[in-house]
Structures are given as structure tokens and as C-alpha cells.
Amino acid sequence: MKKLFVLIVIVGVIVVGVYFLVKRFSKNDESQIKEVFTSLSGSLSYSGGLSNFEKLKRSENIVNRFVPEVYIEIEGIGPVPISFRGREEIRNTLMFAFNQVRELRVNFDDTKVQLGPDKLNATVITTASASANNGEDYGVQEVECRLIKTNKAWLIERVATRDILRR
Amino acid sequence: MLKLCTAIANLEIWSQDKDEKINVECCYNLTQNRYTNMDVTERTHESNSLWFRLVFGANPAITLIRAAVLFGVSMFLFTVVVIPIRVQGISMLPNFRDNSIHFVLKIAYLKNRPQRGDIVAVKFIGNKIALLKRVIGLPGEKLSIKDGIVYINGEPLEEPYVKFKRARWNFPETVLRNDEYFVIGDNRSMAMEAHSFGAVNFSRIIGKLLL
């Protein structure tokens, strides 16, 4: 009996381990797209201020996740929607934000990926939340992103917020 | 049973894989110079290994069943019936403080619909993050806000839960569609632009705040 249970536990651990290993190292399109958002979250989250080099490095990491002619439109932060077009505008906005905000945390949760029939474009809906300055300011938005596959890399082409509360 | 014994002893022996303790009553027959009439009086599942007993208990099969039942009940309870939430932000102050933990009853609206004054969780694309808001408008009603006062079908709404001084919010009259509820936070002292409120479809409402 004892041997049987030890065997069951060992088999269970192996099965769970293999599952997570396969999940971790399998590079299908969906996992690659989710990796884009994980990377963005990592580059956008920091605490205790950033050095100039770190600001440049992070902003490059972020803009390289977008196509050069990207268009972003965000509603709900102010009275009018905010929009950015192209990598340069995003880079400038990021540098401004990195200089103004000492602590920032950005998360993308519940990321749902819908691949196009040709598997060269995808639509992603995710819940983006951001808190700045130790949680003093907190915002959450449902965001829809359109991505395209270019040279085996998934790049964000368009970002728009989705209203869940109609005003 | 007649036992021809010159000595009787009760012995405890272990099964081959050492998970079963067997009490045996033995007779030692001196004339034959061997043990006879070995009667098993009791068999108990017991391990002599402390770590094994700590992990699996005295009876591993029962422990496994208990763990499976507990896991199943917990999963059902905390995914289907109730979900824990942590409040982030200031929109529900002072009734719900930042970082406080509460529970939402997901089955609250299986039969009934939300009522005015209910505190509900409104979901985004998934369930990981939700808005915690109060229902103030019901389907078909006309709702507006003038100088911070909410009007339902032209009548001012009494809101005892709004405790901070109201900012002078103005929101044009809107008619709620079927299946739409108007939700808003209790903190009306903040800027209107920084406060998430509006009409939400019933399908977005996860459940009612339990405690």
C-alpha cells in the first residue's frame, strides 16, 4: 500500500512537471503573443525611479513590440480620448512618463487571444491595470489589440480601449 | 478452541510492506518445540514510517479521498458560489477601503435581478479583475446627475451611503436599456472624469457583494 501511494505521488509530480515544462517551452503563436504582453508589463513596471540608461533601454524594449505605424487610442483617463501614432510618439510619451512617475506597475490580466484564419494576425482582449506612486493612482481598462506577425515576431498594430460602462 | 500450550504470547508483527500492524496470539508448544495456533486477533493499518504517516495519515486511502473531496468542495465553493475580491482604488470610499478583502456571491442573481442599492462586481474580459460598484439605476429608468444629486425618472435619489461631500457632477439624462443597470461608486468627492461609472449590461455583473 505504501509503495503504491509513493508511486502515485511520484507519477503525479512527473505528470505535473512535464505539463508545466511543455507549457513553458512550447512556442506556439498564442504563447508568443502572451509573451509580448508579459514583456510589456515587465518593461512598464518599476519602482524607485530609473537611471537614464534604464529609461532608454525600457522604452526601446517597449516600442520594438509595436509596428512602426502603430495607432493607440485610450479612453477613460481624461475627458477626451488620448491617441498616439507611430513609435516616436510612444517613445516620447514613455520618456515623459518615466521622468514624471517614480513608481509604476502595469499588468495585463485575463489575456484572451484569437488568431486569424491565416495565423498571421490576431486579436487580443486583455484587462490592463496600472497603479502609480504606491497605488495612489489606480486605473483599469479593457483593451483590444490587433497584432500582426512580421518576420516570425508578433507586433502590435492597433490598441483601443473597450467601454464596459456606457456613459 | 482447545490449545495445547505451554506458553501464550501476544505478539505484534508487521506486514511485508510495513503498512499493516497484525496482532497475533501465539502458543509455544514445548513438546513440539515450535509455535502453534497462531491466531490473528487484530489487523490495523499503521505505518512505522513517521514521514509517511505525516504525509498520508494512518490510512492513506481515506486521506486521499478526504483530500480529493476537500479540493473539489473548495474549487466549487470558490469558483462557482463565492469569489474573494480585493478592493483597489478609492471610488468606494469610505464604505470600502483600498486593499480590503470581501466576498462576492456569484449565485445571487440566478433567480433575482439586481436591486437599487446592491453592491455588485462588474467583470472585464476575465474574472481576475472586477469593478466594485453600487447599483443606482434599473432597466428602463431615466437617470441624470445634476450638481452631484442623482435623479431617477426626475425624482432625487436618497443616498445615505454617500458620506463624503459631493462634487458638483453633471451627467445628462440617459435612458437605461433592457438588461442595463447604472452603477457608480460611493465616493462622489473625486473628479467625475477619474471615476468609473455608467450603464452596464447584466451579463457583465458577476454577483452581489456578500460581506
Q: Does the beta carbon of B196 lie under 8 angstroms from any beta carbon of chain A?
A: yes
Residue A142's closest CA among A160, A158, A130, A166? Answer: A160
Query: In chain A, which residues have their Cβ closer than 8 Å to the Cβ of B128?
Result: 109-110, 127
A2:B20 CB<8 A: no
Examine the pLDDT at B111 and tell me if it is beyond 60.
yes
Q: Does the beta carbon of A112 lie under 8 angstroms from any beta carbon of chain B?
A: yes
- How far is B92 from B184, CA to CA, in rounded Å? 9
CB A101 within 8 A of CB A49: no
Q: Does the beta carbon of B129 lie under 8 angstroms from any beta carbon of chain A?
A: yes
Mean pLDDT of A2-22: 84
Q: Place B211 in a pLDDT band, splitting at 50, 70 and 90.
A: confident
Does a structural domain hold residue B75? Answer: no
Q: Which domain holds residue B17?
A: 1-55
Examine the pLDDT at A161 and tell me if it is beyond 60.
yes
Phi, psi of B21 (to 5 degrees): -95, 130
Sign, Cα dihedral of B67, B71, B77, B83? positive
Q: Place B1 in a pLDDT band, splitting at 50, 70 and 90.
A: very low
- CATH number (domain holding residue B114): 2.10.109.10
H/E element, A89: helix A86-100
Q: Are residues B103 and B198 in the same domain?
A: yes
- How far is A117 from A161, CA to CA, in rounded Å? 24
Q: Are residues B178 and B136 in the same domain?
A: yes
Residues with Cβ within 8 Å of residue B192, at least 6 apart in sequence: B167, B169, B170, B171
Domains of chain A as residue ranges with CATH: 28-166 (3.10.450.50)
Residue B199's closest CA among B124, B115, B136? Answer: B136
pLDDT in tens, A80-126: 788 889 999 999 999 998 988 889 999 999 999 999 999 899 999 99
- How far is A65 from B75, CA to CA, in rounded Å? 37
Integer angstrom CA distances of residue B33 from A9, A39, B3, B39: 46, 80, 15, 18
pLDDT at A24: 73
Q: With a cut of 0.85, is the ipTM above it? A: no
Q: Are residues B30 and B110 in the same domain?
A: no
Does a structural domain hold residue B178? Answer: yes
Query: In chain A, which residues have their Cβ closer than 8 Å to the Cβ of B174?
Result: 167
Q: Are residues B114 and B43 in the same domain?
A: no
pLDDT at A60: 94
Does a structural domain hold residue B42? Answer: yes
Question: In this predicted model, which residue has the larger pLDDT, A45 or A136?
Answer: A45
pLDDT at A1: 61
Sign, Cα dihedral of B85, B88, B91, B92? positive
Identify residue B16 by its one-letter amino acid code: Q
Examine the pLDDT at A21 and tell me if it is beyond 50.
yes
What would the grid cell of residue A117 be? 484564419
Taking residue B171's Cβ as centre, other Cβ atoms within 10 Å add up to 18
Query: In chain A, which residues have their Cβ closer than 8 Å to the Cβ of B122?
Result: 164-165
Report the residue of chain A nearest B20, measured CA to CA: A1
pLDDT in tens, B30-80: 677 777 666 766 666 555 577 877 877 778 888 888 999 999 999 999 889
Q: Nearest C-alpha of chain A: how many angstroms from B129?
A: 7
3-state helix, strand, coil in chain A (%, to 5): 40, 40, 20
- The widest CA-to-CA distance across chain A, in whole angstroms, is 69
Examine the pLDDT at B193 and tell me if it is beyond 70.
yes
Does a structural domain hold residue B93? Answer: yes
Interface test with A, best of B15, B88, B129 (most A CBs within 10 A): B129
Does a structural domain hold residue B71? Answer: no
Q: Are residues B48 and B103 in the same domain?
A: no
Q: Are residues B191 and B95 in the same domain?
A: yes
Q: Are residues B104 and B17 in the same domain?
A: no
Q: Does the beta carbon of A165 lie under 8 angstroms from any beta carbon of chain B?
A: yes
Q: Give me the number of domains chain B comprises.
A: 2
pLDDT at B19: 59
A109:B126 CB<8 A: yes
Q: Which residue's C-alpha cell is 506556439?
A: A28
CB B26 within 8 A of CB B35: yes
